[in-house]
Amino acid sequence: MTPDDVTPEADATPEADATPATDAATLDTSRARGRRRGARRRPPRLPILLIVIAAIVAAAVYQGRDTTSTANSAGATDVAALAAVGVPPSAAVSTSWFCAEGTSNDGGRADETILVGNVSKSEVRATITVMPGGDAKPVSRELTVAPGAEARVKVASILATAEPGVVVEAVGGRAVVSHSLEHNGDLAVEPCSRTTSSSWYFAAGTTVKGSEHYLVLFNPFGDDAIADVSFITDTGVQQPDNVQGLVIPRRSRVSVAVHDLVPRQERVATAVHLRAGRVVAERDQIFDGTAPDSGPTRTGIAVSLGATATARQWVIPAGTSTNGATSTVAVANYSNLDTEAEVAILLPDGQTASPQSVKVASRQVVNVDFTNRVPVDSPYSVVVRSRSAEGATEPVVAESLSWWPASSPTTGVASTLGPGRAARRWVVLLPDVDADAVLTVTNTGTKPVTAALLPASQIDRATGPTSEPERAVAVNSITSFTVLNLRTSRGALVITADHPVYVGLTVLGAAGASTSAAFPDYEYTGK
């Protein structure tokens, strides 16, 4: 069959059937016809060529210059990934916070209290749901938090269970959520997570004698998650079979007793990778005061929210040498290449401490004790940067671990990872405990910063009196605000700065010791 076979319309036929001779005579050719008709204008060849060529060449030239890529969107993705504990955007219609570690049953390892702070101008309606796991139904409690206020709810008051995964959903405003854990006279405060992830990393941890090390994985979703857990220990990477293909059932949490899986390890860094699903991971380090075979004897509880990714710089803006604290930072290298890490200690008032470089081999963790480099009774911040003279700058994970000896007025342990990124406004939730709090403002930028402390109820106030005088923070330096006697404190606090800073919280007192990052408000631009 040829195209001639197809003559869909009868009226199309005359032309289609016209003999070539006839029509060709009409088409051909401009020369003959031009001679015949004379007056007929011939199509101008040059303009046609010019326009066609110019259009293509111009487009080609522009295309050659156009080198934009999708880097911006990739950057945005990173920011989103690091905003796990950030203050939710003002446009958020609902926010969910996931608190993994904690117990609410009698004799539990970490009595958990949920702290909900409202940093918006309207009431926040929050629903705290405790998921006991298994076939048991979750139990919820609703509460309303006034603007600028902070609510504290013991999980046990909602549901007493050994493995409570807690979800706090806030509707109608900007709320932040953290939880405080108490164990054996010590305190641990850590922000809950606003996101879940398929990867989690920890750097600090130990399973020496007298310690309990729990990895807590919380799956708040409706489908099961499957995780593989690996540990970097003194003796190398360990992947116990028990935690390969570990199922975290839907709407439940699983506590992994690391001290049973990799016992008697001085250093234990943990990595969690999900085959399916997403979880929130926290690590709980408990010391019962038993003297280990070697090293210090410690008592207390420390909890850390894991990092969802490794990074080349970590700023841990919380720490103090008060009361004889021992300060360390663990640097874990999960990559396949060796790297070096520079550990810098930032001190107030322009004091300096020389940075220390340590080599972190591939799949190893190094503990750096910088106690002697911090003046007595001084707050500090730790900055860990991965760098290498040989060009390998593998990302690492850094986590501080501090402890106070039994002889100290404060007994306890504290750990935390740094926040992901600097911000100009930070929100701090304070536990209702017998202790003081130190809010550390760290300036790692290139310009001096002025920081101010406000009650959360005045979060949008641009000028006016502050609870503390404004503080100037030099480059690569810190400043701190001290909140005395947290028992008398009401409501969340806000620290604002004219340039991005890091803010951390150190709680120290009779109730124990704790270090944690504050909640960054990335939406705030100072305008």
Partner 1 sequence: MSAEEPPSGPVPAPEYPPLDDAALLAAAGGSPAPPDPDAPGTTPGIGDAGAGGDGLSWEDSYAGAGAAPLDAGAMAEGGLGGDALPWTEEPAEARIAPADAGASEEEDLAAYPPVVALLVTRNPGEWFEETLRSLDEQDYADLTVLVVDCSSDEDPTARVAEVLPRAFVRRVETGKGGFATAANEALAMVEGAPFLFFCHDDVTLDAAAVRIMVEEAYRSNAAILGPKLVSGDNPEILLEVGRAIDRFGAPYTGIEPGEIDQEQHDGVRDVFYVPTAAMLVRTDLFTELDGFDPETFPGAEDLDLCWRARLAGARVLVVPDARVAHHEASASRARADRPNESAIVHSRVRTVLACSSLVNLIWLVPFGIVVSFFEFFGNLVTGHPRRARAAIVGWWSNLLHPGSVRKARKHAQRLRTVHDSDLRELQISTLARVNAFVAHHLHTDGRLRDLGDVSRNAVDSVSDGMRAPATIAFLVFLGLVLVGSRDLLSHGVPAIGTFGSWPSVSSAFDAFGSAWRYTGLGSASAQPPAFVVIGGLGTVFLGAIGLARTLFVVLALPLGAIGMYRLSRRIIVLRAPAFAAAIAYGVNPVARNSIAEGRLGPLVLFALLPFLVVRLVRLAEGDEHQGEARKGRLLRLALLVALLTAFYPLGLGIFLAVGALMLLAVPLTWGGRVGVRAFGMSAAAALLALVMLFPWPLAYANGSGKLAALGFDFRPSLTLSQVMRFDSGPATATWIMWGFVFAAAVPLFLATGDRLAWAARGWVLALAGWAAVWVPSTFFPHVSVPAPEAGLTVAALGLSLALGIGVSVLVDGMREMKFGWRQPAAILGAVAVLLPVLGFTADVVDGRWGAPSTAYTTDLAFTQALAARGQFRMLWLGDPTVLPLEPVVLDGGVGYTLTRNGPGDVTQQWRAPEHDADAVLADAIGLAEAGLTNRLGRMLAPMGIRYVVLPTGQGKDGGAHAQVPAVLRRAVDDQLDLAQLRTDSGVTLYENLAYAPILSVVPAGTDVPVNSKAPNIAALGTDVANATPVVGTVARTGTLLWGEAHDSAWEATVGRTLRHTAAFGWANGYPVDRKGAVTVEYTKQWQRWAFLGVMALIWLIVLLRWRHTRVRRDPALRAADRERRRREREDDPFSGVVDDESFYWERV
Site for partner 1 in 244-303 (CB under 8 A): 250, 276-278
H or E element that contains 364: strand 364-369
Query: Quick one: which of 424, 405, 423, 422 has its CA closest to 413?
Result: 405
Residues 3-32, mask of contacts with partner 1 (x by CB under 8 A):
xxxxxxxxxxxxxxx-xxx-xxx-xxxxx-
Please state whether beta strands 150-154 and 493-509 pair in parallel, antiparallel, or not at all (unpaired): unpaired
For residue 91, the minimal CB distance to partner 1 (Å) is 5
Q: Is 38 in the site for partner 1 (CB under 8 A)?
A: no
Tell me how far apart the alpha carbons of residues 379 and 478 are, in angstroms, rounded to a whole number. Answer: 8
77 binds partner 1 (CB under 8 A): yes
Does 34 contact partner 1 by CB under 8 A? yes
Q: Which stretch in 57-65, 336-344, 347-355, 392-400 sits in contact with partner 1 by CB under 8 A?
A: 57-65
Strands (E), 1-121: 94-99, 111-118
Q: Is 331 helix (H, G, I), strand (E, B) or coil?
A: strand
221 binds partner 1 (CB under 8 A): yes
Length in residues, the chain = 527
Contact between 92 and 174 under an 8 Å Cβ cutoff? The reply is yes
Residue 56 host element (H or E): helix 45-65
- Our CB check for partner 1 shows the closer of 63 and 336 to be 63
Query: Does residue 462 interact with partner 1 by CB under 8 A?
Result: no
CA angle 18, 21, 25 (to 5 degrees): 105
Q: State the minimum distance, in angstroms, from the CB of residue 31 to partner 1.
A: 6
Specify the stretch interacting with partner 1 by CB under 8 A; choose among 216-224, 321-329, 379-387, 482-490.
216-224
Binding residues for partner 1, how many (CB under 8 A)? 73
Among positions 75, 223, 350, 434, the unique one binding partner 1 when judged by CB under 8 A = 223
Q: How far apart are CA 490 and CA 396, in angstroms?
A: 38
β-pair type (211-219, 280-288):
antiparallel
The span of 2-10, 363-371, 436-444, 506-514 binding partner 1 (CB under 8 A) equals 2-10
Joined tokens for residue 169: 């959903």
CB of 209 to partner 1, least distance (A): 40
Q: Is 137 in the site for partner 1 (CB under 8 A)?
A: no
Nearer to partner 1, 42 or 527 (CB): 42
d(CA 137, CA 159): 11
CB atoms within 10 A of CB 84: 22
Handedness of CA 14, 20, 25, 27 (dihedral sign): positive
Among 38, 39, 60, 294, binds partner 1 (CB under 8 A): 60
CB of 441 closer than 8 Å to CB of 497: yes
Q: Which stretch binds partner 1 (CB under 8 A): 72-80, 324-332, 352-360, 365-373?
A: 72-80
Q: Which of 162, 171, 247, 474 binds partner 1 (CB under 8 A)?
A: 171
Residue 66 makes contact with partner 1 by CB under 8 A: yes
In the bound state with partner 1, the residue whose beta carbon lies nearer, of 28 and 260, is 28
Strand spans (E) along 410-474 = 412-417, 423-428, 435-443, 449-455, 471-473
Q: Is 457 in the site for partner 1 (CB under 8 A)?
A: no
Can you list the positions of beta strands (E) in 192-335? 199-202, 211-219, 225-233, 236-238, 244-248, 252-257, 268-276, 280-288, 299-305, 313-316, 326-333
User: What strand order describes the sheet that includes 412-417?
Assistant: 364-369, 326-333, 397-404, 412-417
144 lies in the site for partner 1, by CB under 8 A: no
Question: Looking only at residues 333 through 372 of this chain, which bind partner 1 when binding is defined by CB under 8 A?
Answer: none
Q: How far is the CB of 306 from partner 1 (least distance, A)?
A: 16
Q: Could you say which residues in the range 372-411 bind partner 1, by CB under 8 A?
A: none
Of residues 83 through 112, those in contact with partner 1 by CB under 8 A are: 83, 88-89, 91-96
Question: Which residue, 8 or 107, is less far from partner 1 as judged by CB?
Answer: 8
CB of 199 to partner 1, least distance (A): 12
Which CB, 370 or 524, lies closer to partner 1?
524
Of residues 35, 36, 45, 527, which one binds partner 1 by CB under 8 A? Answer: 45
In the complex with partner 1, the residue whose CB is nearer, 140 or 458, is 140
